[in-house]
Chain A
Amino acid sequence: MSDTGIGRAADQIVLEYKIDAPPEKVWRALSIPEFRERWLPAKDLADPAPVSSAPGEELRYRMRDPAPPFLESIVTLHLRPDTGGGTCLRIVHDLTDERLQRIVPPAANANGPPQMRAA
């Protein structure tokens, strides 16, 4: 199990884990609500129904931070077979709260001329 920290954007978390169980079994743990509840409880989700589902491969849930300001996000859980019969679980968690859209994209051409001042 490791955090590879690959492809990290400013408002995104990407983690990858080696799971010692076959993909079909991990898929059941992710997608069957009774199982999902035991590791990813509905109280952490904005909606316990997945946003999208590609059986055996990918599942997306909408999440809401239980603490103020209750930021909304989408987590994508990818599964792929790993060597030795295990599973590689990739977690891509994107902060999608629309209240942040006005500040998240650091558009290079926004807000007038750039300031090149030394700190």
Chain B
Amino acid sequence: MMRYDIFKALADPTRRAIFEKLAHGSMNASALRCGMEISQPAMSQHLAVLRKARLVRERREGRFVNYEVDSEGLVCIAEWLATYRAYWPARVDALNALLKDMDQ
């Protein structure tokens, strides 16, 4: 379910671009629209999808709302999966090398 949400949220190129912008630092919605051909309501829709997938969260500062990558959310699970999916094949290679070195 949540993997589906993450992939669905990032399958859209505009949302991927928004997410990548936020990966560099928090921003408000109008700063996010800079350099993008996108209306304000469309931006709000995209941010809502990213928030629902727990990729992005909003932080209110007085009248202003900033958006940032939700580091405690599902994105950290996605990173964990990516890390260890690369980790284990390398470890098994090392295990095979060790087994060759070991006596029977």
Contacts and interface: CB of A to CB of B under 8 A. Distances in A.
Chain A binding site: helix, strand, loop or mixed by DSSP?
Answer: mixed
B102 interface: yes
Chain B binding site: helix, strand, loop or mixed by DSSP?
Answer: helix
Interface string A22-40: 0001101100000100111
A17 B92 contact: yes
A119 B48 CA distance: 9
Given A71-B76, A99-B72, A103-B73, A13 B1 contact: no
Contacts of A69: 71-72, 76
A25 B94 contact: no
A35 B97 CA distance: 11
A25 B102 contact: yes
A26 B68 CA distance: 46
